Every structure is written in C-alpha cells, then in structure tokens.
Amino acid sequence: MSGFIRICDVEKYYGTKANMTKVLNRVSFEINSGEFMGIMGPSGSGKTTLLNMLSTIDTVTSGHIYFENQDITTLNEEKLALFRKHNLGFVFQDFNLLDTLTIEENIILAMSLQGKEKKEINARSRQTMDQLGIYPIKDKFPYEVSGGQKQRCACARALVNEPKLILADEPTGALDSKSATTLLDTFTSMNENLGATILMVTHDAFSASYCKRILFLKDGEIFHELVRGNDTRRVFLNKILDVLSLTGGDVPDAE
C-alpha cells in the first residue's frame, strides 16, 4: 500500500437526513505517480463529485484519501489551502482565464499567489510558456487569442507551479474537435515529457483514449477498469466504446 494517492472506501451523501442521496459508494483505487488516468461514466454517476473529493473542494462523508501517505480528509481549512496550493493544478472546462490580464499575467498570477521570488517567477513562467508554445502570444489578452491557445494558457497555469497532480473536469467539453485534439496532445506531452500526473474526467471516448488507464463509474461505484498497455489509441478507443455500450445508454459526445 504505497500508492502515490490512495482513495479508500470513499462515500459521499448529499442532502438532509430525510432526503439523502448516496452519490459515491465505497470507492477505492490508487493513482500512481506519473499516470495519465481517466474517469468515465454516465451523467450523474459521481465523476465530478469524486474529483471534488480529491481536490478537497468538498468533503467525504466517510472513507479516506491519502496523498503521499497524508490523509487529506482530516486537514483543517488552513492546511487544506496550503495542500491545494502546493500539490494541485486545475484545468477547468471554461479555462477560467482572467480577461483583464495578459496570457503571461494569467500564468504569473498563479505563481505570485505562492509567494515566490520575482526572478524565479519570471524564469519559470517563461519556461512553461515555451514548453506549451505560447511565449509568442504572452502579451495578448485571452479574448485576442484562439480557443486552442487559451487552453494551452490554462494548461500552463496548471503546470507552472509543478503540481504533483493535475485535475481536469471535462476539459474538452466545450471544444471543437481540433482544439480538443490539441489539448489532449498537450496533456500527453505534459504526462510523457514533464512527468505530470493527470486525472481527467470525461464523457467522451475519444478524449479518454488518450489516457493510460480508465476507471468507469456507474451509480457511484467503480464497475470497470481499462488499461491501455501497448494498445494503439484506435484499439483502445474501441475497447472504451465496448465498455460504454455496457453502461447502457450514455452515448459519447451526447452533450
């Protein structure tokens, strides 16, 4: 039991005693350092809830989550804020870039919040922008750049602090297929070349086929796992579609 992140018997209920919904039912799994992992499942199956437990945005009803052997379900608010700041990076569906700041300022803001030295901040942000190919547009504002460039800025912001875990909830949900492919290629490169550990929630089988391992949730429980191994992405995609057909009805790309 030495996993990088261990999710142990996590349960989540919403609502009051009289009107209680069980959203996660004894979910257990591990995430290894350097994995690119996907979570799939029908709408309402608990994917976002699970991500919110891991990101400590929301609390578990019972169970434990160990992050490098530290139980993050027992931390107080102050320690949680520090934990998030030092360990996590987020890529949101709508990217959450601030329109009044340039691309570079958006990235630097994520670092300034950590109280680093200006010189270090500038060097690190330059390096990250170079890695993601957005240095040439660093002085533009988000509304002046393409959707694909915005995503890469959002990725740079998630990556700039070298988080141990990057969490992404439906990052390709609002994108056309070309931009989605660019984002997924960026994630793959972040994972393979920079060693980032990524957990991505997605409905979409095409997006999921970029992952190395996928957990399938149904009614708040893990009901299947797929490992890509040496499969090509196309072969893996077909395996994913086979599993989705078993879940009964949640057609990929339906939303």
Ligand X SMILES: Nc1ncnc2c1ncn2[C@@H]1O[C@H](COP(=O)(O)OP(=O)(O)OP(=O)(O)O)[C@@H](O)[C@H]1O
- Token pair 């998630």 is at which residue? 158
CB of 45 to Mg ion, least distance (A): 9
The piece of 42-50, 104-112, 175-183, 221-229 that touches ligand X (CB under 6 A) is 42-50
Nearest Cα residue to 172 out of 55, 94, 89, 90: 94
Integer angstrom CA distances of residue 168 from 18, 155, 172, 250: 33, 10, 9, 20
- Residue 9 backbone dihedrals phi, psi, to 5 degrees: 50, 45
* 39/156 with CB nearer Mg ion: 39
Q: State which of residues 5, 10, 36, 49 lies at the interface with ligand X (CB under 6 A).
A: 49
Stretch 48-67: interaction string toward Mg ion, x if CB under 5 A: x-------------------
Give the tokens for residue 133. 């190919």
Other Cβ atoms closer than 10 A to 168: 24
CB of 43 to ligand X, least distance (A): 3
The item of ligand X, Mg ion, none sharing an interface with residue 186, based on CB under 5 to 8 Å by kind, is none
- Is residue 93 at the binding interface for Mg ion, with CB under 5 A as the rule? no
Q: How many residues bind Mg ion (CB under 5 A)?
A: 2
Q: State which of residues 10, 23, 88, 155 lies at the interface with ligand X (CB under 6 A).
A: 23
Q: State which of residues 38, 46, 89, 148 lies at the interface with ligand X (CB under 6 A).
A: 46
- Token pair 């990556």 is at which residue? 159
- Residue 143 backbone dihedrals phi, psi, to 5 degrees: -75, -10
- Is residue 43 at the binding interface for ligand X, with CB under 6 A as the rule? yes
- Is residue 59 at the binding interface for ligand X, with CB under 6 A as the rule? no
CA 52 to chain centre: 10
* 15/195 with CB nearer ligand X: 15
CB of 106 to Mg ion, least distance (A): 24
* 94/130 with CB nearer ligand X: 94
Q: State which of residues 35, 37, 41, 156 lies at the interface with ligand X (CB under 6 A).
A: 41
Beta-carbon contacts of residue 120 (< 8 Å; ≥ 6 apart): none
Nearest Cα residue to 37 out of 4, 85, 81, 73: 4
The piece of 13-21, 45-53, 58-66, 188-196 that touches Mg ion (CB under 5 A) is 45-53
> Do the beta carbons of residue 217 and residue 47 sit within 8 Å?
yes
Q: State which of residues 30, 34, 48, 75 lies at the interface with ligand X (CB under 6 A).
A: 48
The item of Mg ion, ligand X, none sharing an interface with residue 46, based on CB under 5 to 8 Å by kind, is ligand X
Other Cβ atoms closer than 10 A to 56: 21
Integer angstrom CA distances of residue 250 from 44, 196, 209, 247: 11, 30, 17, 7
Q: Given the rule CB under 5 A, which residues bind Mg ion? A: 47-48
